[in-house]
A and B are shown apart, each in its own frame.
Chain A
Amino acid sequence: MTAVTLPESSETKRQRRSLGHTKRPSTILTVAALAAAAYFLLPLFWLFVSSTKTTGDLFSTFGLWFAGDFSLFGNISRTLTQEDGVFLQWMGNTLLYAVTAAGGGALLAALAGYGFAKYRFKANRMMFLGVLGAIMVPATALAIPTYLVFSEMGLAGTRWAIILPSLVNPFGLFLMRIYTESAVPDSLIEAARIDGAGEFRIFFQVVLRLLAPGFVTVLLFTLVATWNNYFLPLIMLNDPKLFPITVGLARWQGQAAAGGGATGDLIPLVITGSLLSIIPLVIAFLFLQRYWQSGLVTGSIKQ
C-alpha cells in the first residue's frame, strides 16, 4: 500500500540497496535486452529513413539506409499541402477528439471514482459492479450497436459520434476508485468539512490535487485510445473533413494501393504523414513517464 501512495520511497530504497552490494551486469542479458530494443525501434527507424526519400528512391534504394537526396522537408511540405491541407485538418480533428474525450472521460471517472470510494449510498456496490462488468465487453463489439443508435438519432457522421462514445471509460473509473482509496485520507475530507467547505469544493480544491497521478494516467490512456481509434471513426464518418488522422492515412494508403502508377506518389505522403502524426504522442509519453508509471502500479497490484 505504501508503494501506491509513495512510489518514490521504494525507488530510493532500491537505489540504496543496489549501492550496498553492487551487482555485475550480465553481458548475455544486456545483449538480449538490446536486441529486443533494436527490434522495437527498427520500424520507427525505417519510417524516419523513408520519409527522407523521394518516390523513386523509396523503391530503388536499400530500405534501411538513407538515399543520396535528402527530401524530408520537401515531403513534409507536400504532405501538408496535399488536397488543400487536409492533413492538418485530420491532425486537428484527432487532437480535438482525443483532448475532449480524454479530458471529459478522466473528469467523469475521477468524480465517480471519488463518489464510489468515499460515499455510502444504497446503489453504490451494485452500480460499481455493473460498470466493472463492462470492462470485459470488447469495444469493437459495442461499435456496431453504437452506430445503430447514433444513426437512428442522426448523430452518425458528426463529431459527436467520435467524442461521446470515448467518454465511457469503465477501466478509468476502476483505477480512480482504487486510487482515491489509497491517496485521499478521510481525515482530510473531514477537516475540510469542519472548515465549512462544500462537498464539491472539497473535491475540486483539495481532492483533485491528490488524485493528480491517477488522473493523468487515465487521461493519457484515454488520449492514446482515442488518438489510435480507427474502427469507430471508420464506421461513423463519411466526410473526409471530419476524419481523424488514422482514417485519413488509411484512405491515402488505400488510394495508393488501388491506383498503382498514377497514385504511387501518395506513398511518400503516407510515410511522412505517419511520421508527423506519431511525434506528439511519443513526446507526451516520454515527458509524462513518471505519472503513468505510478498510476499503473495502482491498477495492477490491486486487481
Chain B
Amino acid sequence: MTMTTTLDKRSAATGGRPDAKRRFKPNRSATGYLFVAPFMIVFIALFLVPLVYAAYFSLFREQLVGGNAFVGLDNYARAFGDAALGEGIVRMALYFFIQVPFMLLVALFLALVLDSGLIRLTRTVRLAAFVPYAVPGVIATLMWGFLYGPDYGPLTQVAEGLGLTPPDFLSSDLMLGSLANIVFWEFTGYNMVILYAALRAVPTELYEAAAMDGASPFRIAWNIKIPLLRPALMLTLIFSIIGSFQLFNEPNLLQGLAPDVINSSYTPNLYAFNLAFVGQEYNYAAAVSFVLGAVILAGSYLFILLTNRRSRS
C-alpha cells in the first residue's frame, strides 16, 4: 500500500509541472494500459466472449424444422427439473464431503510434521507426496484403474494372498470412494506444499517463545500454527470446491472399466459433455454448464461467507 501511495503523490507532483517538461515523458497512465492490454485482450476474447456467446446460445433450441428457435429460459427450466443433473450434483456434494476434509487433513498433518522437524527423511517425504501432482490426471486414473482391476489388479492379488475376499473397487458401492482415492492421490501433495510454504513464511519468533516456555510441538501446532494457516487453508478449500464439482477426467476414464456403474450423467460435467458431444444438444449443454458454474460459485461464496462470519464472532 505504501508503494501505491507514494506513486500517487509523485504522479500528482509531475501533473503540476509545466507542460514543456511533460512533452518529453511518456504518459504513464497510457503506459499502464499498454502493459495490461495484451492480457486483457486475451481475457476478453477467450473468457468473456465465450461466456456471453454461450449464455446467448443457451436461450435457443435446435429444432428438426426451421433451425434454431428462441425459447427464452426454457433450457434452464428444463435443467432445474432434470433429475439426472440433480442426481449428479448431489453425488458431487457427497463426494466433496467424503474426499475434501480427509485430503486437507492429511495435507495439513504432513505440512505440520514436515515443518516441525520431528521426523527423519523430511525431504524424501515431501517429494514423494508432491510427485503425483506432476502426473497427469489421465495417467493417474489409468494407473489406479489397473490397480483396482478385479481380475489381475495387484490390490486384488494382495487381498487374495492374505486369504481375504477382495473388495470390488469398481462396484457401484465403492466407486465414489475409488474416485475420491484417485483425486486424493493426485492433490494431497499439492495442498501440502501450499500449506507447508505458508508455514515456512511464518517468522519463527512467533513460536520460539512458546517453545522456550515448554509448550509441546502439538500445542504450538494447534494454538499458533493452525490459526496462522487460515488464509492458506481457505485457498486450498476453495480450489477443492471448484475441483470437486467439475470432476470429469477420472469418471470419464473409469467409465470404460465400469460402464454399468458410471452412466452418462454420473457427474454434472460428464453429463454436459455427453449432452453436447453424444446427444448433439449443444444449447441445453450450454445451459447445464451455466447451472453447474452457478452451483460452484454459490458454493464458494457461501463457504467464504460462513467462515468470515464465524471468524468475526
Minimum C-beta distance from A141 to chain B (A): 4
Q: Which residues of B contact A124 (CB under 8 A)?
A: 32, 36
**Count the A residues whose beta carbon is within 8 Å of the partner chain — how many?**
116
The answer to whether B246 touches A282 (Cβ under 8 A) is no
Q: Which residue of B lies closest to A224 (CB)?
A: B134
The answer to whether B139 touches A300 (Cβ under 8 A) is no
- B interface secondary structure, majority: helix
Task: Please indicate which of the listed interface residues A32, A62, A199, A224 has the most CB atoms of chain B within 10 Å of its own CB.
Answer: A199
A39 to B178, CA, bound (A): 15
Q: Which residue of A lies closest to B186 (CB)?
A: A228
Instruction: Tell me whether B226 is interfacial, beta carbon within 8 Å.
Output: no
The answer to whether B121 touches A30 (Cβ under 8 A) is yes
Q: Which residues of A contact B246 (CB under 8 A)?
A: 138-141
The answer to whether A285 touches B130 (Cβ under 8 A) is yes
The answer to whether A47 touches B143 (Cβ under 8 A) is yes
Query: Assuming the A-B contacts A145-B54, A228-B137, are A300 and B197 also in contact, with contact meaning beta carbons closer than 8 angstroms in the complex?
Result: yes
Of the residues B8, B135, B143, B201, contact of A297 by C-beta under 8 Å: B201
Q: Which residues of B contact A138 (CB under 8 A)?
A: 242, 245-246, 292-293, 296
A142 to B262, CA, bound (A): 23
The answer to whether B289 touches A145 (Cβ under 8 A) is yes
The answer to whether B135 touches A278 (Cβ under 8 A) is yes
Chain A interface (Cβ within 8 Å of chain B)?
3-4, 7, 10-11, 13-14, 17-18, 23, 25-26, 29-30, 32-34, 36-41, 43-44, 46-47, 50, 58-60, 62-64, 108-109, 111-112, 114-124, 127, 131, 134, 136-149, 152, 164-165, 167-168, 170, 173, 181, 186, 190, 198-200, 203, 224, 227-228, 230-231, 234-235, 245-247, 249-250, 253-254, 257-258, 270-271, 274, 277-278, 281-282, 284-286, 292-294, 296-297, 299-303
Chain B interface (Cβ within 8 Å of chain A)?
3-4, 6-8, 10-11, 26, 28-36, 38-40, 42-43, 46-47, 49-51, 53-54, 57, 106, 110, 113-114, 116-121, 124-125, 127-140, 142-144, 146-147, 151-154, 157-158, 185, 188-189, 193-195, 197-198, 200-204, 208, 217, 231-232, 234-235, 238, 242, 245-246, 248-249, 252-253, 256-257, 269, 272-273, 276-277, 282, 285-286, 289-290, 292-293, 296-297, 300
The 13 listed contacts between A and B (C-beta, < 8 Å) are: A17-B204, A26-B118, A64-B154, A115-B33, A115-B34, A137-B51, A140-B269, A142-B51, A227-B136, A228-B137, A253-B142, A274-B139, A296-B193
Q: Other CB < 8 Å A-B pairs besides A224-B134, A230-B136, 19 of them?
A: A18-B117, A23-B117, A25-B119, A43-B140, A43-B144, A44-B135, A60-B152, A63-B157, A115-B31, A116-B36, A124-B32, A138-B293, A138-B296, A144-B276, A173-B39, A228-B137, A293-B197, A297-B198, A297-B200
